[in-house]
Amino acid sequence: MLEIKNLRVVVDDKEILKGLDLTVPAGEVHAIMGPNGSGKSTLSYVLAGRDGYEVRDGGVTYLGKDLLAIMPEQRAREGVFLAFQYPVEIPGVGSATFLKTAVNAVRKHRGEKEFDALEFLKLVRAKREALGISEEMMRRPLNVGFSGGEKKRNEILQMSLLEPRLAILDETDSGLDIDALKVVADGVNALRREDRAIVVITHYQRWLDYIVPDSVHVLSEGRVVRSGGKELALELEQNGYGGIGLQAGAAV
C-alpha cells in the first residue's frame, strides 16, 4: 500500500530524512520508534503534504501512485489520514461543522452521496459515544479548550468518520493517561481492517501493548536502522536505544 524509497527531505536547509526506506502492506500495523530528532514527525508531515518539507531525492508510492505529486486535500480524499501530534486549535470553526465539511468532501470524491445534517448527526453520535466524546464537545470550536486527551480522541473520531486506507498516528499516545490510552487504542483497533494500513509513531512500547503491531521499525538520523517484529519494541523497552547501538539517552 505504502512504499517509501530512499526518501531524502530537507527542512530549513537541514537534511532530516536521509534516505529512508519503508514498505507498509495493506492490512498491517507498523510501528515507527526512534529518539527525538530522528525524523518521525517529519515523515508524517511529508506524507500528509505539509509545506516547507523539500524532497531532495527518493519517492513515495501510495496505492501505486506518486503520493508526493498531489495536494494535501487530495491525499486525504485518496485515503491518507494523519492523526496530528498537536492538533491545531481553530477558534470560531465549530467541530461539527468542520467534521461534516470534511466527511462530505471525501465522500463526494469517492462518488458517494453527501450526508445531510440529520444523517450526519446520527453517524457522529454512534462513533463519538464509543470514544467517550460528549455532544457538548462537538458544539465547541475545533480543538479549542480541549484537553490533551480530548484532542487525541477527536483525531480518532475523525479517522473513523473519514475511513482512510492509510492512517498515520503521530504520537497519539502522548499526553494520555492510562484510561484514555485504552479508550483511544480501542478506537484504533476497531478500525483495523484487511484493506487498511496503520502507521503508529511512538516513543513508548506501552502504547504497542494496546495496538499490537505487525512490524516495528527503528528510525535514527533520518533512516530506518532496524526492523523486526513486535518483540523489537520489547527489546527497546529493556535496553533503550543505546542497547541496539544508538546513542544512549537520546530517547526521552
- Which residue ranges make up the site for another protein (CB under 8 A)? 48-51, 71-73, 75-77, 80-82, 84, 87-88, 90-94, 97-98, 101-102, 105-106, 109, 141-142, 158, 162
- Calculate Rg over the CA atoms of the chain: 18
* Shortest reach from residue 74's CB to another protein, in Å: 8
CB of 209 to another protein, least distance (A): 28
Minimum gap (Å) between residue 229 Cβ and another protein? 30
Look up residue 94 and give its amino acid.
G
Q: Which lies closer to another protein via its Cβ, residue 111 or residue 177? A: 111
CA distance 237 to 241: 8
Closer by beta carbon to another protein, 109 or else 226? 109
Buried b (16+ CB within 10 A) or exposed e, 14-31: ebbbbbbebebeeebbbb
- Closest distance between another protein and the C-beta of residue 90, in Å? 5
Residue with smaller CB distance to another protein, 78 or 173: 78
Element (H, E) at 204: none
- Identify the residue whose cell numbers are 460528549: 134
The Cα-based distances of 145 to 4, 73, 95, 142, 205 in angstroms read 37, 26, 12, 9, 29
Q: Which is nearer to another protein, 75 or 128 (CB)?
A: 75
